[in-house]
A and B are shown apart, each in its own frame.
Chain A
């Protein structure tokens, strides 16, 4: 294995996100105070001036995401952060960023909802909001960390994906990851994510895509491109095209397919003990930690259990999960909501095995023994 030089730091998940953003070259942050994401704004306020970046506490959440998009076209890598109620407010900006193809990163340190909900308790109730929160058809990418290390690694990666796919990328962290302090390995000499400048030519078309649906780089304002950026559906030149059905259909399709067509490249999972598993625990974010403990305990008891942690949850890793579902008789899906992602698993498993929801509400994390109990119950029910 290749040895990578790194520094080790003890960090809170929220801080790890900030350090990763700065390492990725993010130099603009706009936010608004909200529990349990405030430490991100606080750390950004401390760190951005040190790297000659911009920190703004805006008048509200909507202003924060709009300023972030403005800065992105202004020439900076930019992000914003919030939690449930704030993310709800930001949704009009998410849709705008998706349609104008602004590379921005949005951090949602998820807390229990709906509404003001449980400000200081974790939740995973916003996973569909991340995908469908703004009106209209569009696609985003969403990454879910389960540790401070993943908070760092995935946040760095989020900036790279945002640039490559010209899309808003969510980090769906949660209160547990956000407020946990643990060891984080930071590779030394981590280079900032590259922002590719499109070739400057006469009659540059800002929305002329390649055959893969992706735009060639990211132009900045006042660099000679003279671009028109419009939230109204537009043609390749950026001119409004709401009166042209074919152009509108083409754009809507492209901004969706540029993500879904690359779903296989975007897959990011970690699987443990899956080769011979009869029972699989499929999880994402914080519950994947008790899930792994439970699976190890089950193995000690002679149960062939395995687990899969999904780190890129949108686009959903359809093919990988479908393949992993061929062998086990049961898949258990623990999640901190009423049972949402289990529907995605059911959809792709398509009856090949039993899919069981293990929801946990009320702002508590599953204990390993709760997941283990479900594994044991299912191993007795289903023998094949």
Chain B
């Protein structure tokens, strides 16, 4: 086992329940490196939603809640508000976060509460067998869009930003080091931080949306379809056509954070 695994994996939970080639292991590894670098295990609370990626924190030997479908952010809100020194990290799939949990997502962002949301985006409901998601590309064929998806997908980063998140980033599982660094930065940030991680799902999205179950090919596609925000600066609109920006997309360090504002107000009231 990898030394990080030896140190931090909850052995009783093994084996992993993910398919071969799944991107969730890459996100787990990136998270463990980030937590290790920050040396924050005693102060961290992890929350996982429902769906394949919701299992990520259950493998980590920390204080962890594996909660209800879509409800990660409300649980995280209760955890954060009951101990402001605690850092809370949420792992939520695209369906969990933007579909059934969409309302909680925008309100968490609006409050700018100090929670880090890692949204693992595979463009499909994988665990239930490959149904259309609010992130499935237009025309994408899935089990519940057999004639092609009739709905346009959400841009989760844009949604997070306009809703009020103060830290927004996007990476893919083809960028594990950058992802880990960004998770570190997001946890250190005081406020609602959102990281979208585009990930390969060989079993479901790979087969039906991209015609391949080959994880390596899918990772290549992720790499090819994205461009870092710094590299994009010198590119023409033509060159950026069809490319998704990755990197730190938005960071406002001055925006007031919900928990600290709440307790500051409370202290003033309770000392009256």
Interface residues of A (CB under 8 A from B): 28, 30, 49-54, 56, 58-60, 62-64, 66-76, 78, 92-93, 96, 100, 221-222, 224-232, 235, 237, 239-240
Question: Is the Cβ of A54 less than 8 Å from the Cβ of B81?
Answer: yes
- Residues of A within 8 Å of B265, CB to CB, are 49
Which residue of A has the minimal Cβ distance to B104? A63
CA distance A235 to B42 in the complex (A): 24
CA distance A239 to B266 in the complex (A): 38
Question: Is the Cβ of B10 less than 8 Å from the Cβ of A228?
Answer: yes
- Residues of B within 8 Å of A76, CB to CB, are 82
Given contacts A52-B270, A93-B68, A228-B66, is CB(A73)–CB(B262) below 8 Å? no
Question: Is the Cβ of A222 less than 8 Å from the Cβ of B42?
Answer: yes
Question: Is the Cβ of B79 less than 8 Å from the Cβ of A221?
Answer: yes
CA distance A50 to B265 in the complex (A): 10
Question: Is the Cβ of B79 less than 8 Å from the Cβ of A240?
Answer: no
Question: Is the Cβ of A71 less than 8 Å from the Cβ of B79?
Answer: yes
Contact partner, B68, options A66, A237, A240, Cβ 8 Å: A66
B3 at the interface (CB under 8 A from A): no
Question: Is the Cβ of B63 less than 8 Å from the Cβ of A221?
Answer: yes
Which residues of chain B from 222 to 242 have a CB within 8 Å of any chain A CB? Answer: none
Selected A-B contacts with CB under 8 Å, 25 pairs: A50-B269, A52-B266, A53-B266, A54-B266, A59-B103, A63-B73, A67-B78, A69-B78, A70-B47, A70-B76, A70-B78, A70-B79, A71-B82, A73-B79, A74-B86, A78-B82, A93-B68, A222-B44, A228-B58, A228-B66, A230-B58, A230-B65, A235-B12, A237-B12, A239-B12
Number of B interface residues in the complex (CB < 8 A)? 40
Interface residues of B (CB under 8 A from A): 10, 12-13, 42-45, 47, 58, 61-68, 71, 73-83, 86, 103-104, 107, 262, 265-267, 269-270, 272
- Residues of B within 8 Å of A231, CB to CB, are 66-68
Contact partner, B62, options A68, A69, A226, Cβ 8 Å: A226
Contact partner, A96, options B45, B67, B104, B262, Cβ 8 Å: B67
- Among B42, B58, B65, chain A packs the most CB atoms within 10 A around the CB of B65
Given contacts A56-B81, A71-B81, A75-B83, is CB(A230)–CB(B68) below 8 Å? no
Question: Is the Cβ of B81 less than 8 Å from the Cβ of A49?
Answer: no
In angstroms, how far is the closest chain A Cβ from the Cβ of B156? 18
Question: Is the Cβ of B78 less than 8 Å from the Cβ of A60?
Answer: no
- Residues of A within 8 Å of B12, CB to CB, are 235, 237, 239
Which residue of B has the minimal Cβ distance to A28? B82
CA distance A224 to B47 in the complex (A): 17
Question: Is the Cβ of B66 less than 8 Å from the Cβ of A232?
Answer: yes
Question: Is the Cβ of A226 less than 8 Å from the Cβ of B68?
Answer: no
CA distance A221 to B62 in the complex (A): 9
Question: Is the Cβ of B66 less than 8 Å from the Cβ of A49?
Answer: no
Contact partner, B78, options A28, A225, A230, Cβ 8 Å: A28
In angstroms, how far is the closest chain B Cβ from the Cβ of A60? 6
- Among B68, B71, B82, B107, chain A packs the most CB atoms within 10 A around the CB of B82
Contact partner, B75, options A49, A69, A230, A239, Cβ 8 Å: A69
Question: Is the Cβ of B64 less than 8 Å from the Cβ of A96?
Answer: no
In angstroms, how far is the closest chain B Cβ from the Cβ of A342? 34
- Residues of A within 8 Å of B64, CB to CB, are 227-229
In the A-B complex, the 3 residue pairs with the closest CB atoms: A70-B78, A74-B82, A66-B74
Question: Is the Cβ of B67 less than 8 Å from the Cβ of A66?
Answer: yes
Which residue of B has the minimal Cβ distance to A232? B66
In angstroms, how far is the closest chain A Cβ from the Cβ of B146? 29
